[in-house]
Chains A and B, each alone.
Chain A
């Protein structure tokens, strides 16, 4: 076992110091030492994207980076999205458009979509599908994830938004 190292970074706005082995993956540090269990582990090969975090303005699969590489970084995880009890438009979009089922991929999806919308605030469906291809979902078939992201993008652009799933058919009187 190699000597442990102290690593400091900002996690969802808070300064963190954590003692890790050099070989420790960021996802394990987050989940097991920093009580940040939103990002999940769904594969061994960096394919599924369930562990996606935002690291210094880039989407990163946190199973594919060592914690020691994060010295001095700014990290955003799903836990940092809602502010003061207010959901982020992406979080709102995912629930309004039924963009999740089991919820396992959702933190990674939202975190990835956040970065995509920073880079492209008005993506087409095709662009969304392409830019989200690093994140797998086994439940939804992606169609409602696309709609969720479109909902959030519109809201973030200041446009009026409405769910495609009204509670009841409108009663005409």
Chain B
């Protein structure tokens, strides 16, 4: 009894894996002492603003900057002509295309960057931006990607004239970017030809924006004497930014310091390199003074990277009992005017090929065509791994469409098709190896928790009553994600493998500093990484400082997006901590004068096996590391680990939603949303719950209201928070969470990543519930977002 209490006390002191450790980030944030990019203030700092195009497609006939330059307080007005001698008017994108930093004689989307005005402060800069006179000659506009490759369509990228081969193979039209396909087409086509049942559904995943509360920005400071460049930047991937800046500027990476300070949310918005970052750097180099650039919300929503914009056609072939034989998918992907999609370089459609989902589908074929339109560039992963949200949406909608056609219950059709626990590792027909999963029990747990049968009975009753004022929709989603990019054999960014890293230094007093190549933006890395080290190396988390985001101190890493911090970064953390532990074991053996093999690790130190009274704590060992190490051993207690994962991880979940829709108004109420997630080993249950709440809320926003529509002239509509839906506390539903634990077999601590599952899984769950509400009337699909107007229109069309 005493031993249990004693052990529990030691565990509590460690605050290791599994503890609801409260966050070390909080004290500064709750007292207004965070340091976000816009809080950085340097002596002599100037402020830059962009002059942007009002037109979606136009030739620039002249730019007159003389009035702006003459305005008091203005230091520079940069245009493409000024960047040309430096070869910085164009920059490479992560997708193998190029993007204009400042418009080079032509604009191809509304709000494209045309000139950069640098002045004493933001008021003067805004005044002067108004004085830049740009003459445009309008050109015909293409906003519909389905007509982008029509004969005679306007040429969006004359700079690519004659380039029949792009970064991802042959281009079959001047507005074509790539075709990417995977799977066995012939086998799949044959399976369709033979199948007793087939279904086909078109669906559009609208263009949306991650919209973190902090917009993008940078403060560039070039020291002309030392030749050193320091940039504070809103980046989820500071090391990659350093490499890109080095490539662009020819400054060696050793003289470039990129600092991601506190980041006010990223959600994929802060992965790319944007023109504003580049112009602030160029302006600082030209002027020899620090230059700040902070975008406005409208600039954020209309220029720095959209997500989705996928036009998908899904087809399933099945037996009469609903067992699926084949999946066929065709996609037209609208990438805007430049292909600045943020994917691993070799994967132009990201991990879209996870679209066979949680189901044992023997045959599949996927083809994705990327096209140019006169819209802003992007294709970022909005709180998801690359294109996984689109993939999961496709399969989770399709399986409902199939169930509907067959008259099979939507839970039952999933049971009949799940990959079974004993089939793992499971090889999908599209070339992925799912390492682990246990889908059936997760779904059953949820169905029991919500009393599924009773809800279906209630729904049947309501459907039978013509006077019932509401429709009731029940949505199920049993998704599998693919996260943790990724194995360097298949994943790289600009040629750099997608490993991640951790370096730990244990000080003589046994406190420690740990640095990683990832970058927290609210996920709480400073809290959770320390928990992993605590468990693995026996050092209390309270004494571990975690630092990320400064490329001059942190080891190189690919950053935080695509839920890769836990699968990749945390693996490096665990392995570095184990290296510390193994060195500590040798020192302990030396101190106790026993063989290292005779020692066992016990929470916070080493015991001699069978004689726990002979022990050395990590505190004693750390001190000895600096004065009394075994013969031939280096002093100190440090470790570094670069982790190249052998595979991705595959978190999964079973989500359930009940909607009540008022027929006469289209108003939709989320009665219940139950989310069960399996993220493998759970590092901090409090933080996991918080991440899931946040992801569900972003998923709710996408399903129910977010979109960035365009008119025919290429004007982006809904570019402020007046129109772009960001839910308040009032609209946001109450969330119920649950979990199962199926550890990843290849991850050092069995963890899989969690923060994106709720976004990926909830959106099809909402869609499935919405369409389920109308399904008895023959509706198989209608497109998001389900704002009241759109739902009302659907109800009206059915005469409700």
Contact = CB atoms under 8 A, between A and B. Distances in A.
A110 B30 CA distance: 8
A103 B297 contact: no
A135 B732 CA distance: 13
The 4 lowest CB-CB distance pairs between A and B, nearest first, are A38-B32, A103-B29, A104-B264, A102-B522
Given A45-B297, A45-B720, A167-B15, A173 B1 contact: yes
Interface of B: 1, 4-5, 8, 11-12, 15, 18-23, 25-36, 38-39, 41, 72, 121-124, 211-215, 262-265, 267, 294, 296-298, 521-524, 685-687, 689-691, 693-694, 696-698, 720-722, 726, 728-730, 732, 734-735
A104 B690 contact: no
B730 A130 contact: yes
Interface in A95-139: 95-96, 98, 100-107, 110, 128-130, 132-139
B516 to A, nearest CB: 18
Contact of B31 (A50, A82, A136): A82
Given A42-B213, A173-B1, A133 B729 contact: yes
Contacts of B30: 78, 87, 91, 94-95, 100, 103, 106, 110
A159 interface: no
A44 B690 contact: no
A173 B4 contact: yes
A143 B72 contact: no
Interface string A43-86: 11101101000000000000000000000000001110110000
A32 B123 CA distance: 12
A41 to B, nearest CB: 7
Contacts of B728: 129, 132-136, 142
Contacts of A135: 728-729
A100 B213 contact: no
Q: Which of A37, A79, A144 has the most CB of B within 10 A?
A: A37
Nearest to A28: B122
Contacts of A106: 29-30
Contacts of B721: 43, 45, 47-48, 136
Contacts of B214: 40, 42, 102, 104
Q: Which of A36, A135, A167 has the most CB of B within 10 A?
A: A167
A11 interface: no
Contact of A143 (B19, B27, B297, B735): B735
A164 B722 CA distance: 35
A75 to B, nearest CB: 13
Contacts of B262: 102-103
B594 to A, nearest CB: 32
A165 interface: yes
Contact of A98 (B19, B39, B687, B696): B687
Contact of B722 (A45, A145, A171): A45
13 contacts: A42-B214, A43-B721, A47-B726, A98-B23, A101-B265, A101-B522, A103-B26, A103-B264, A104-B36, A136-B213, A138-B726, A143-B735, A165-B22
Contacts of B27: 95
Given A28-B122, A42-B214, 12 more contacts: A38-B33, A42-B264, A101-B524, A101-B690, A103-B264, A110-B30, A133-B729, A138-B698, A141-B696, A141-B732, A165-B20, A168-B12
B32 A165 contact: no
Contacts of B524: 101
Contacts of A45: 297, 720-722
A13 interface: no
A31 B39 CA distance: 8
A90 B97 CA distance: 49
